[in-house]
């Protein structure tokens, strides 16, 4: 890519692309934002790096205060990193040290979901549940326990919501008991999982997980690297789902991609376990060279200011509703099996037969073809063989949403012609 402005990229040949996925769930405030760019220029003139062992910097302190004013509950202690994987690693390490310093020396196991993704580093990948991204790197450290995800459309337990009594959540209690609660440190979940196909849990899911965590002294970690900063229609998905975790992990949309940054915000209860003199050796001795980098923090402050001042979470809700309406209008094509997501993080699952939920034959890679056809037509989406995702910058205007959905619809219909010709050929044989 050569340049970008608003929701549009331009490549080196001059071809334009509508950014239907915010780069990769990053550019929440859009591209070429003058307020963010100006803040970064001013910061560069002032301070680009401070000695992290001896000092911090004004921008890091301001950003910590800003984030603390936006997080739910008392999640008002903040630590910065360079990106999402560092944030999830940091959260899991924080949980382990917290338990040690509060007398629970045996708590180290981390429970997470199959099909979830928490980053590419060894600890984050250990907690991730995306089979094809992790098995070649095995083994990871001990203590990563995985649970089946809340994929209602294809319930892993073969049940229907709400008659299921949300077994995908309640089963976590059985797993904790079998593992021995005194060994379980944390439960890390994405409020909405991208890699699983925009997996959106039923309303009571997180309330049940919260209750289980409280019952057994387990820290609930929300990995909001994608869902944070307005994406799901509130500043954090914790607010969208009405559940306050103990730790929130952040990245991506935190700076809208203007500079690399990640972070965690955690509760007073956790922070309290780390307060003490240097001699007591109870500080969280976990840091990265670029954590709290002044330039990244300046970008994040201006970016979050844009998201808050322009009420982009609200705009995300309205725009998301428009995307869903346009997807519903494609009902006649008979291949959209499910539409899910919140705010401006919308997924659509493709099926060959809506009654049986049968998928297109694997070789066809239906969703990938749709995504690649859209790319040729100048639309960037997130695609997978069986689903596609829409998550444009939150600043997207209605006419741009219509352009995005028109291009998607044309691409889908084009690929359907191919799918039908494969079907005819197969039945002739």
Ligand X SMILES: Cc1ncc(COP(=O)(O)O)c(C=O)c1O
* Contacting residues toward ligand X, per CB under 6 A: 83-85, 88, 117-120, 190, 194, 223, 225-226, 251
| Between 97 and 194, CB nearer to ligand X | 194
Give min distance, CB of 121 to ligand X, in A. Answer: 7
Give min distance, CB of 88 to ligand X, in A. Answer: 5
Give min distance, CB of 119 to ligand X, in A. Answer: 4
Max Cα-Cα span within the chain: 79
| Between 181 and 263, CB nearer to ligand X | 263
| Between 83 and 385, CB nearer to ligand X | 83
| Between 223 and 338, CB nearer to ligand X | 223
**Length reported for the chain:** 429
Angstrom distance (rounded) from CA 294 to CA 91: 22
Whole-Å CA distances, 162 to 159, 203, 205, 228, 378 = 9, 10, 11, 27, 40
Torsions phi, psi of 90, nearest 5? -60, -40
Strands (E), 148-233: 184-189, 219-223
| Between 344 and 351, CB nearer to ligand X | 344
Give min distance, CB of 229 to ligand X, in A. Answer: 13
| Between 351 and 389, CB nearer to ligand X | 389
- Edge-first strand order for the sheet with 262-266 is 77-81, 262-266, 247-250, 219-223, 184-189, 109-113, 144-147
Give min distance, CB of 92 to ligand X, in A. Answer: 12
Chain residue whose CB lies nearest ligand X = 84
- What region, left, alpha or beta, does residue 30 occupy, with left being phi > 0 and alpha being psi -120 to 50 degrees? left
Give min distance, CB of 405 to ligand X, in A. Answer: 24
DSSP assignment string, 255-312: TTTSS--EEEEE-HHHHHTT-S-GGGT-S-----TTTT-HHHHHHHHHHHHHHHHTTH
């Amino acid at each position: 890519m050569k340049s970008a402005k608003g929701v549009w990229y331009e490549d080196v040949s001059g071809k334009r692309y509508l950014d239907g996925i915010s780069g990769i769930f990053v550019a929440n405030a859009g591209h070429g934002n003058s307020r963010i760019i100006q803040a970064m220029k001013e910061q560069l003139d002032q301070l680009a790096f401070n000695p992290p062992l001896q000092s911090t910097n004004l921008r890091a302190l301001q950003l910590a205060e800003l984030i603390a004013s936006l997080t739910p509950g008392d999640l008002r202690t903040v630590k910065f990193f360079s990106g999402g994987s560092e944030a999830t690693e940091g959260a899991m390490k924080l949980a382990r040290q917290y338990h040690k310093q509060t007398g629970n020396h045996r708590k180290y196991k981390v429970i997470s979901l199959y099909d979830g993704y928490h980053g590419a580093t060894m600890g984050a990948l250990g907690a991730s549940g995306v089979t094809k991204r992790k098995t070649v790197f095995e083994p990871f450290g001990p203590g990563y326990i995985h649970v089946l995800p809340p994929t209602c459309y294809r319930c892993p337990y073969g049940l229907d919501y709400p008659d299921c009594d949300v077994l995908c959540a309640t089963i976590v209690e059985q797993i904790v008991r079998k593992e021995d609660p005194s060994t379980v440190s944390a439960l890390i979940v994405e409020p909405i999982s991208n890699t699983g196909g925009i997996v959106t849990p039923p309303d009571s899911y997180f309330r049940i997980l919260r209750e289980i965590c409280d019952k057994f002294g387990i820290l609930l970690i929300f990995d909001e690297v994608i869902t944070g900063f307005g994406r799901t229609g509130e500043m954090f998905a914790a607010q969208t789902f009405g559940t306050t975790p103990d730790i929130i992990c952040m990245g991506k949309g935190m700076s809208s991609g203007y500079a690399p940054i990640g972070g965690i915000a955690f509760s007073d209860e956790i922070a309290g376990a780390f307060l003490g003199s240097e001699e007591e050796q109870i500080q969280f001795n976990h840091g990265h060279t670029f954590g709290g980098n002044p330039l990244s923090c300046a970008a994040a402050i201006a970016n979050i200011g844009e998201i808050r001042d322009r009420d982009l979470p609200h705009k995300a809700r309205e725009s998301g509703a428009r995307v869903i309406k346009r997807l519903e209008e494609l009902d006649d094509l008979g291949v959209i099996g499910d539409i899910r997501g919140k705010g401006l993080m919308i997924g659509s699952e493709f099926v060959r037969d809506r009654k049986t939920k049968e998928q297109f034959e694997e070789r066809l890679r239906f969703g990938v073809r749709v995504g690649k056809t859209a790319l040729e037509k100048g639309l960037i989406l997130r695609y997978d063989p069986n689903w596609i995702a829409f998550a444009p910058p939150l600043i997207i205007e209605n006419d741009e949403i219509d352009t995005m959905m028109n291009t998607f619809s044309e691409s889908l219909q084009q690929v359907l012609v191919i799918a039908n010709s494969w079907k005819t050929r197969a039945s002739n044989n």
